[in-house]
């Protein structure tokens, strides 16, 4: 069953003078769903996010956040935003900074510490932000975004500049928020990391949503070839090449390509070569390949 949509974007279009930034874009983010918005620089990701936040107007289509218009009080009560580069006052401690944001939202300072511990900053709460790492500053940003229990989180390249461990920790936090029912829309250039950490992917290319689905669905739709590398046993390269004359020879290995539905038959043929084969590696198309496939298709 599809989760209840918290964000619905239908046939959205937006032009800047002389430029169509978004054309007929539709997407939904459901309760508890993590949706990745992928696209090259200038694809329209920030424009879409700004519209959802009610920061800029749009030309056509409809956008609803929790059944309300973007920017309305109702929508703003349910949506939180984390920009790519969060700037804080370096002289303030994490606790002071969060108390300040809580005061701006009319919320009591007593909520600061629970929010900081939620994002793993309890121990560092009384240290100046100037001493924090980039990952810790990003977590202060997330704590701030969590004020008021938002139903929808809009995260603009939240992990850019974070090391792999901080990225993993950040995504683990997002997993927890999604498990509690928050919908998450995040943009990223880091394709391989969203592969494992999001439920659905929307690929934007020049303002057009060129593909949408789970990674498995996108893989199937793109129907890209799988590559199979055979490492021959000593002295067996010629014998294997005779069976697979179409194989490319690279650095002592033989490389073949096949469609997904041909894979098992090909592996069976390779296995029948017995000890002539030292090893076999199967490489499915990466998210980068899939991304280029759909982006190229849109440009054609
Ligand atoms: P990036 O990954 O670089 O942040 P993006 O996918 O977020 O890119 P947008 O910032 O939404 O892309 O920009 C989409 C297009 O709209 C780009 O060509 C950009 O130059 C243009 N654009 C964005 N804001 C404005 C503006 N205020 N006036 C005119 N053109 C703009």
Helix (H, G, I), strand (E, B) or coil at 140: helix
Which of 81-85, 93-97, 117-121, 296-300 is the least confident region? 296-300
What is the distance in A from the centroid of ligand 1 to the CA of 209? Answer: 15
Instruction: Among 23, 40, 42, 204, name the best residue to mutate to test ligand 1's pocket (greatest count of ligand atoms within 8 A of Cβ).
Output: 42
Task: Determine if residue 67 is left, alpha or beta; phi over 0 gives left, psi from -120 to 50 gives alpha, anything else beta.
Answer: left
183 lines ligand 1 (CB under 6 A): no
49 lines ligand 1 (CB under 6 A): no
Task: Give CA–CA dist 260/44, Å, rounded.
Answer: 32
DSSP H/E element including 185: strand 183-188
What number is the average pLDDT over the span 226-231? 95
Which residue is closest in CA terms to ligand 1's atom 1? 41
Q: Inform me whether the pLDDT recorded for 300 exceeds 70.
A: no
Chain CA centroid to CA 10, Å: 20
Task: Give CA–CA dist 171/2, Å, rounded.
Answer: 22
Which residue is closest in CA terms to ligand 1's atom 3? 41
Task: Give CA–CA dist 170/158, Å, rounded.
Answer: 8
**Number of residues assigned to the chain:** 300
50 lines ligand 1 (CB under 6 A): no
Q: Inform me whether the pLDDT recorded for 222 exceeds 70.
A: yes
To the nearest whole percent, how much of the chain has pLDDT over 70? 97
Which of 27-41, 116-130, 214-228 is the least confident region? 214-228
46 lines ligand 1 (CB under 6 A): yes
Q: At what angle do helices 134-145 and 94-104 cross, to 10 degrees?
A: 20
Q: Inform me whether the pLDDT recorded for 72 exceeds 60.
A: yes
55 lines ligand 1 (CB under 6 A): no
What number is the average pLDDT over the span 236-244? 95
Q: Inform me whether the pLDDT recorded for 219 exceeds 90.
A: no
pLDDT-derived band of residue 124, with 50, 70 and 90 as boundaries?
very high
pLDDT-derived band of residue 298, with 50, 70 and 90 as boundaries?
low
Q: Inform me whether the pLDDT recorded for 235 exceeds 90.
A: yes
> What atom in ligand 1 is closest to the CA of residue 56?
27
Q: Which domains does the chain have, with CATH numbers?
A: 5-220 (3.40.50.300), 225-284 (3.30.70)
pLDDT-derived band of residue 153, with 50, 70 and 90 as boundaries?
very high
Question: Which of the 8 DSSP states describes residue 57?
Answer: -
Task: Give CA–CA dist 109/116, Å, rounded.
Answer: 12
Task: Look over the chain and give the mean of its residue pLDDT values, rounded to a whole number.
Answer: 90
Task: Give CA–CA dist 233/300, Å, rounded.
Answer: 44
What is the distance in A from the centroid of ligand 1 to the CA of 17? Answer: 12
Tokens read off for 153 = 């989180």
User: According to the model, what pLDDT value does residue 268 have?
Assistant: 96
pTM equals 0.82
Residue 159 phi/psi, 5-degree rounding, is -110, 10
Q: Inform me whether the pLDDT recorded for 10 exceeds 80.
A: yes
To the nearest whole percent, how much of the chain has pLDDT over 90? 63
- Per residue in 164-185, pLDDT (tens digit) is 888 888 888 899 899 999 999 9
User: According to the model, what pLDDT value does residue 286 have?
Assistant: 80
188 lines ligand 1 (CB under 6 A): no
Greater pLDDT, 68 or 189: 68
What number is the average pLDDT over the span 5-26? 96
DSSP H/E element including 226: strand 226-232
User: According to the model, what pLDDT value does residue 1 have?
Assistant: 63
- Per residue in 49-65, pLDDT (tens digit) is 999 999 999 999 999 99
Q: Inform me whether the pLDDT recorded for 38 exceeds 80.
A: yes
Q: Tokens 């919320």 map to which residue?
A: 107
Q: Inform me whether the pLDDT recorded for 25 exceeds 90.
A: yes
User: According to the model, what pLDDT value does residue 299 have?
Assistant: 54
> What atom in ligand 1 is closest to the CA of residue 84?
4
Instruction: Among 23, 43, 189, name the best residue to mutate to test ligand 1's pocket (greatest count of ligand atoms within 8 A of Cβ).
Output: 43
């Amino acid at each position: 069953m599809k989760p209840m949509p918290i964000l619905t974007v239908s046939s959205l279009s937006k032009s800047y003078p002389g430029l169509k930034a978004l054309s007929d874009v539709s997407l939904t983010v459901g309760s508890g769903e993590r949706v990745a918005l992928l696209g090259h620089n200038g694809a329209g990701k920030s424009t879409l996010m700004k519209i959802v936040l009610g920061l800029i107007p749009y030309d056509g289509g409809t956008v609803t956040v929790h059944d309300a218009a973007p920017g309305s009080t109702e929508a703003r009560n349910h949506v939180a935003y984390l920009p790519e580069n969060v700037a804080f006052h370096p002289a303030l401690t994490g606790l002071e900074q969060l108390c300040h944001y809580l005061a701006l939202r009319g919320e009591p300072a007593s909520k600061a510490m629970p929010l900081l511990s939620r994002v793993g900053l309890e121990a560092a709460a009384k240290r100046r932000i100037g001493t924090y790492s980039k990952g810790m500053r990003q977590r202060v940003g997330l704590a701030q975004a969590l004020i008021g229990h938002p139903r929808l989180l809009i995260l603009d390249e939240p992990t850019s500049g974070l090391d792999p461990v901080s990225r993993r920790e950040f995504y683990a936090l997002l997993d927890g928020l999604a498990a509690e029912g928050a919908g998450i829309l995040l943009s990223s250039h880091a394709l391989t990391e969203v592969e494992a950490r999001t439920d659905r992917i929307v690929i934007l290319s020049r303002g057009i949503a060129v593909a949408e689905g789970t990674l498995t669905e996108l893989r199937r739709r793109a129907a890209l070839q799988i590559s199979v590398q055979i490492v021959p046993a000593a002295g067996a390269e010629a014998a294997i090449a005779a069976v697979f004359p179409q194989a490319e020879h690279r650095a002592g290995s033989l490389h073949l390509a096949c469609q997904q539905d041909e894979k098992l038959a090909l592996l069976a043929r390779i296995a029948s070569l017995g000890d002539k084969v030292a090893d076999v590696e199967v490489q499915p198309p990466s998210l980068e390949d899939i991304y280029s496939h759909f982006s190229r298709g849109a440009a054609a």
